[in-house]
Amino acid sequence: MNNPRFLVPFIVIAFIVIYVLATSTKTIDSGQAGVLYRKFAGGVDTTETYSEGFHIIAPWNTMFIYEVRQQEIFEQMSVLSSNGLDIKLDASLWFQPKYNYLALLHKEKGGNYIERIIMPAIRSATRSVVGRYTPEQIYSSKRDVIQEEIFQETKRIVDDQYLQVNSVLVRDVTLPTTIKEAIERKLRQEQESLEYEFRLEKATKEAERQEIESEGKATANRILSQSLTDKILKEKGIEATLKLAESPNTKVIVIGSGDDGLPIILNGN
């Protein structure tokens, strides 16, 4: 047994066992899924997507691992607006493989599906959408609309490619300097015009308010003047005289001595 020749078979067997175990087990991490390629049984197994965890496979088969969580790619593009001006646009795309169709994605599209499908799709969608708008619309009012249209167009392209598009974000739009300055100048002028119209409308409303207030006061004075007859004035004078007479201050009241028949009040001090 001390002869090294007897140890060789055991070493070979141990090596084979270790190799078989190493090639017959596969661990799939969180957020990943596997596609099995059966070398002697028809190639890609399209009946099953292998979930995360530990799996035992035949040593001659191969397990391909895919990321199935949401992923993001960034793309910088140069596209033309509706009037032929060059626009630089930075966008990002959120996507992920459709879990139940992962084997078909591997079989028909391959592991480099991002370069073959995703990136051409968002480029094509962006060029198509941006080509419908002017630089001014892209830069200002239509940005959210353009973003949504790029998302819908990209989704339409890849929907039957076993991929799921979750969102498209337009992060930055760069226009030629002269065009950008012209747009900003026009926007400032529009803002100043709106501000002037607001001040003018405010001044007009204030003038109308003052006119209405003046008319109201004039009407009130006219009604009051028409209602104040001599008899009413005398009655009011008598009421005032009686109240003054009740005052503790020293005074002399001469009844009926005035020209209008009202009392005359003399200071007693």
Which pLDDT score, from 0 to 100, does residue 70 have?
A: 95
Taking 80 as the threshold, does the pLDDT of residue 10 lie above it?
no
Spell out the residues 6+ positions from residue 59 whose beta carbon is closer than 8 angstroms to its own. Answer: 19, 20, 23, 24
Burial label, 213 (beta-carbon count in 10 A; 0-12, 13-18, 19+): exposed
Mean pLDDT, to the nearest integer, of 73-100? Answer: 89
Same domain, 14 and 58: yes
Percentage of residues in the chain with pLDDT exceeding 90? 33
Is residue 223 located within the same domain as residue 234? no
Contacting residues for 120 by C-beta, under 8 A, at least 6 apart: none
Same domain, 61 and 124: no
Shared-domain flag, residues 54 and 116:
no
Residue where one domain finishes, among candidates 45, 67, 89: 67
| 45 and 33 together in one domain | yes
- Output the domain CATH number for residue 164: 3.30.479.30
- Cα(6)–Cα(48) distance, rounded to whole angstroms? 46
* Average pLDDT in the chain: 79
- Looking at residues 168-180, what average pLDDT do you find? 78
Q: Are 95 and 166 in contact (CB under 8 A)?
A: yes
171/220 same-domain check: no
- pLDDT given for residue 219 in this prediction: 77
Average pLDDT over residues 102-106: 95
* Alpha helices (runs of H) in 25-142, residue ranges in sequence order: 102-108, 113, 119-130, 135-139
Q: What are the Cα distances from residue 96, in Å, to 46, 71, 73, 102, 206?
A: 18, 6, 11, 10, 60
Task: Please indicate, yes or no, whether residues 125 and 29 belong to a single structural domain of this protein.
Answer: no
Q: What confidence tier does 150 reach under pLDDT thresholds 50, 70, 90?
A: very high
26/76 same-domain check: no
Same domain, 113 and 52: no
Residues 34 and 22 in one domain: yes
Q: Check if the beta carbon of residue 158 is closer than 8 Å to that of residue 168.
A: no
Render pLDDT for 41-66 as a digit per residue (tens, 0 to 9). 889 999 999 999 988 888 888 899 99
What is the pTM assigned to this prediction? Answer: 0.60
Domain of 253 in residue numbering reads as 230-267
In this prediction, residues 214-236 reach a mean pLDDT of 68
Q: Which residue among 43, 67, 91 closes a domain?
A: 67
- The answer to whether the CB of 163 falls within 8 A of the CB of 106 is no
Q: Which of 51, 67, 83 is the last residue of a domain?
A: 67
Per-residue pLDDT for 244 more than 90?
A: no
Check residue 72 and give its pLDDT: 94
Tally of structural domains, the chain: 4
Same-domain status, 136 and 97 = yes
